[in-house]
Structure formats: C-alpha cells, structure tokens
Amino acid sequence: MHSPSTSYVGRFAPSPTGPLHFGSLIAAVASYCDAKANGGKWLVRMEDLDKPREMQGAASLILSALQAYGFEWDGKIVYQSQRADLYEDALQTLKNQGVIYPCTCSRKEIVDSATSSGIEGAIYPRTCLAHAPEANIHAAFRAMVLDENITFFDAIQGEITQNLARDIGDFVVKRADGLFAYQLAVVVDDAEQGVTHVVRGADLLDSTPRQIYLQRLLAYPTPHYAHVPVAVNANGEKLSKQTLAKAIKPEAAPSLVFEALNFLGQQPPAEMKNATLDEVWRWAIANWELSNVPKNRTLPQVG
C-alpha cells in the first residue's frame, strides 16, 4: 500500500460530447486509483467550453455513469462554462506581458501561407504578428512561442521533449468566436483547483508542452504528468463519439472496471472477474502500481 499524501490532488475532466465509453473509463480508473492509492483527493471537472460540440444531457449521463461505477469524487463538480472570468483574467495577464496577439487568419489562409508543418499540421506563419489586424474585428488570440525545447518527465511515457516553434507554432488561447481554448482553460483550472497530479490519456501528450509553457508564463506550478495508453477500436481508431464508441452500461460495472485495470497493466487476479464492484475497487486501490501501466497498447480494445 502506498503511503498516504494529503497534498495529492488529482482530477478527471471529461468533455460532455457524449456518454462515458470504455476509453473514458480507462482514464477515470487510472486517475482515481492513483489519487486514492496515494491518499489524495480526486476532483471531477466538466470541460464543457465547446458548446457547439456538446451533446445535450451528456454531462448528467457522465456523472450518473461515474456514480454507477462506484467513483467517489471530492468537492463540487466544476463546470468550465461557468469560469469565463478566471480565463479572462489569465488572458489579460498574458496581454499585459505582450506574449499574445490577435489573429484573424482562417484555417485555409494558414494552410495556403504556411511554409512548414508540425505535429498538428501547418505551422502558423505569424501573418497577424507582422501585420496587426484592424481594430473591432472578431479575432482569435495566439500565444507567441519561443524556439526552445520544453522538456518534462512523464511517469508512464518517460522524458518528453517538444520544440513549440518547430512542432506546434503560435497556438490559439481564445477563439475568434469568443470561446476560450482548451489549452488555456485547463491550465487555469488545474492551478486554481490545486491539481498536483494529472493522469490522463496519451492522446493529450502533445498538448502538455503548450500547457507547461502557459504555466510558466502565468507563474503557475507544473503538475506531475502521467499519460496512459489510449483504447482503440477494431480499426485502430481512438474510442470516441466520432468513432461511435458504445456507452458503458451500469450493470457491467464490475467487469468493465476489471477490464480497465487489465488494460492498465495491473493484472487483477482472474477471480476478480466475478467479484462485486466494491471488491474490485478495494483490490484496485490496494494494489495500484503506476509503474505497471504500459506506454501503449498494440492490440485493439473494443468498448
């Protein structure tokens, strides 16, 4: 059993674009077990910033599923859609530092004018930094990155290094439609909620250097990171609403938590397949070892 730590604060932060599926369950189980095995707190935050992508009622479905699967969170549920003032304050801090600038370029304009590409496509060529857009035009705001490496140690994936200028480019922190970008919101929330450990899916690994960069600009502490492997379907696609991942069923809770633990390399004993949900959770928390989580999974996992 791990020694308890009152300073550990973890979180699970789903986006309400659909009901909870097996891929989401894996991230929830990993973050929950790591928090509870270390005697820490486990928060739930609903990342509902992107209203056009949100499915009506999905937030309630996700919370109901978490309860049915035996998760117990600490404190109130936080909704990003109710925290615009916090994000605006952070944006103003970045403006005061002169590290963000307005941008009115469309995606097509960026693709057409880009001279290099990175891990997410065309690198923004800083058109609007060289020629500032006119006032009173709806503009996005981009963070101006440096040509230097951001390196961090991930508890599962090992040492990760990314050069934001070459790999990402100046990235959006507030969209032209007025919505705050995920990269800024998650950094503000983690700092404001005192999150010390972020355990989440490896699909977000490439976002972490951008978040560390913003943490440094805003003088926030950087949490410990651990990115767990992502479950995929038979076609090798990440389980998601877009790939029609099936919602997890309440009656399948004990067996699916068992399967999630297995996926995460915890090797629960076979008899746990027929155990009660409480028994599965007791075993999971008592025997949790983050060091046993694999970097990736090559076999398709169908939710």
Domains of the chain: 9-82+223-292 (3.40.50.620), 84-183 (3.40.50.620)
> Which tens digit of pLDDT belongs to each residue from 134-144?
777 889 999 99
Q: Give the pLDDT confidence score for residue 244 in this predicted structure.
A: 47
Q: Do the Cβ atoms of 84 and 95 come closer than 8 Å? A: no
> Which tens digit of pLDDT belongs to each residue from 198-252?
999 999 999 999 999 999 999 999 999 999 998 876 555 555 555 445 788 888 8
Q: Give the pLDDT confidence score for residue 235 in this predicted structure.
A: 55
Q: Give the pLDDT confidence score for residue 241 in this predicted structure.
A: 56
Looking up tokens 């990402």 gives 168
Does the pTM surpass 0.85? The reply is: yes
